[in-house]
Amino acid sequence: MLGSIYTWTTLALIVVIGLIVWKGKGPIIGGLDRRAERIRSELDEAQNLREEAQHTLEEYKRRQREASDEAKAIIDHAKEEAVRLRRKAEAELEESLARREQQAMDKIAQAEAEALAEVRSRAVDVAVAAAGRLIADNLDEAKSSEVMGRSIEEVKAKLN
């Protein structure tokens, strides 16, 4: 009898398992299919996100290269501009120095000319005064007037 209880219990267990499998097979397989589909869609979404991230990374790398190239171009332009400005400043400085040197030379020449004219003027005054004294001391009045007139004419002619 004990053997028949085990038999009937085993048989009942097999029937219950069979019913569970027969009735639960669709929902279990459906659940597994849904889970597999969800996993597949998550994998697809992850793949899409990975591709999008890769594309974004490439875009940022491209932008970084462009920005780096642009920065290099700006630096090169700034260096060229600095060289150009330095050369221009040097040229302007040289021109300014040349102008100032020429102005100084002109002032020196003008001062020399003024000094020479003043020396000549004083020499003429001294010579005229000396000649006047000599003539006054050595000549009579008629001859003195004649010599004085000629001397004045000669001095005027030499000064002009």
Residue 148 · residue 135 · CB < 8 Å: yes
Distance between terminal CA atoms of the chain?
169
Does the model's pTM come out above 0.95?
Answer: no
Return the domain boundaries, the chain.
Answer: 2-159
pLDDT per residue of the chain (160 residues) written in tens, 0 to 9: 566 888 888 888 898 888 887 787 778 788 888 999 999 999 999 999 999 999 999 999 999 999 999 999 999 999 999 999 999 999 999 999 999 999 999 999 999 999 888 888 887 788 777 777 776 676 666 666 777 778 778 777 777 6
Residue ranges of E strands in the chain = none
